[in-house]
Amino acid sequence: MTSKKIGPVHNAALVIIGEDVLGGVCVGSNGPWLGRQLRALSVPISCAIVVPEPERAQEKVIEDLIDACDFVIVTGIFGSTSDEATSQLMARVLGVPLEQNDAVSGDTTPTSVQWGAPGKLVIRPGARIPQGARILWNKTGSAFGYVLQRDHTWICCLPGVPEEMQSLFKEQVLPRLIIEPNSPVESVSMTFRLAALSEGQVAETIAGLVEKEDCVVHVFPGPQGVDLVVEAPRQEILERLRPSIRRVMSWHLYDEDETDVAWVVGEFLRQAGKTLAVAESCTGGLLAHLITEQPGSSDYFLLDAVTYANVSKEVLLSVGAELLATHGAVSMPVVQAMASGVLRLAGADYGLATTGFAGPGGGVPGKPVGTVYVAVAGPAGVDGELRVYSGTRSQVKAQAAHHALTMLYHQLLRDS
Which of 276, 277, 275, 279 shows the shortest CA–CA distance to 315?
Answer: 279
Q: Phi/psi of residue 309, each to 5°?
A: -90, 155
- Rounded Cα gap, residues 368 and 374, in angstroms: 16
Residue 105, Cβ density class (10 Å: 0-12 exposed, 13-18 middle, ≥19 buried):
exposed
Q: Enumerate residues 6+ apart whose C-beta is below 8 A from 169.
A: 34, 37, 158
Q: Does the pLDDT of residue 169 top 90, yes or no?
A: yes
Range name among 52-66, 92-106, 272-286, 360-374 with the lowest pLDDT average: 92-106
Q: Does the pLDDT of residue 108 top 50, yes or no?
A: no
Q: Give the model's pLDDT for residue 107.
A: 33
Q: What pLDDT digit, counting tens, does each position of 240-254 carry?
A: 999 999 999 988 888
Q: Give the model's pLDDT for residue 187.
A: 74
Could you give the angle at which helices 84-94 and 59-68 cross, rounded to 10 degrees?
Answer: 60
Confidence of residue 192 (pLDDT cuts 50, 70, 90): very high
Which of 29, 305, 6 shows the shortest CA–CA distance to 157?
Answer: 6
Q: Does the pLDDT of residue 164 top 70, yes or no?
A: yes
Confidence of residue 119 (pLDDT cuts 50, 70, 90): very low
Q: Enumerate residues 6+ apart whose C-beta is below 8 A from 336.
A: 353, 375, 377, 382, 383, 384
Q: What is the set of domains in the chain, with CATH numbers?
A: 6-179 (3.40.980.10), 188-255 (3.30.70.2860), 261-415 (3.90.950.20)
Q: Does the pLDDT of residue 101 top 80, yes or no?
A: no
Q: Does the pLDDT of residue 89 top 90, yes or no?
A: no
Q: Give the model's pLDDT for residue 4.
A: 72
Confidence of residue 18 (pLDDT cuts 50, 70, 90): confident
Residues 212-239 have a mean pLDDT of 88
Contact 292, 285 (CB under 8 A): no
Q: Does the pLDDT of residue 123 top 50, yes or no?
A: no
Q: Give the model's pLDDT for residue 122.
A: 44
Residues 99-111 have a mean pLDDT of 46
Query: What is the C-alpha R_g of the chain?
Result: 25
Q: Give the model's pLDDT for residue 144.
A: 81
Confidence of residue 76 (pLDDT cuts 50, 70, 90): confident
Q: What pLDDT digit, counting tens, does each position of 346-395 carry?
A: 999 999 999 999 999 889 999 999 999 999 999 999 999 999 998 899 98
Q: Give the model's pLDDT for residue 162.
A: 85
Work out the mean pLDDT of the chain and round it to a whole number: 85
Q: Give the model's pLDDT for residue 59.
A: 82
Range name among 9-18, 34-43, 80-89 with the lowest pLDDT average: 80-89
Q: In this predicted model, which residue has the larger pLDDT, 319 or 149?
A: 319
Confidence of residue 126 (pLDDT cuts 50, 70, 90): very low
Range name among 6-10, 256-260, 370-374 with the lowest pLDDT average: 256-260
Q: Does the pLDDT of residue 183 top 70, yes or no?
A: no
Q: Enumerate residues 6+ apart whose C-beta is below 8 A from 282.
A: 330, 354, 355, 356, 357, 358, 372, 396, 397, 400
Contact 261, 402 (CB under 8 A): yes
Highest mean pLDDT among 183-187, 195-199, 259-263: 259-263
Q: Does the pLDDT of residue 212 top 70, yes or no?
A: yes
If DSSP states are collapsed to H, E and C, what string results for the chain?
CCCCCEEEECCEEEEEECHHHHCCCCCCCHHHHHHHHHHHCCCCEEEEEEECCHHHCCHHHHHHHHHHCCEEEEEECCCCCCCHHHHHHHHHHHCCCEEEECCCCCCCECCECEECCCCCCCCCCCEEEECCCEEECCCCCCCCEEEEEECCEEEEEECCCHHHHHHHHHHHHHHHEEECCCCCCCCEEEEEEECCCCHHHHHHHHHHHHCCCCCEEEEEEECCEEEEEEEECCHHHHHHHHHHHHHHCCCCEEECCCCCHHHHHHHHHHHHCCCEEEEECCCCCHHHHHHHCCCCHHHCEEEEEECCCHHHHHHHHCCCHHHHHHHCCCCHHHHHHHHHHHHHHHCCCEEEEEEECCCCCCCECCECCCEEEEEEEECCEEEEEEEECCCCHHHHHHHHHHHHHHHHHHHHHHHC
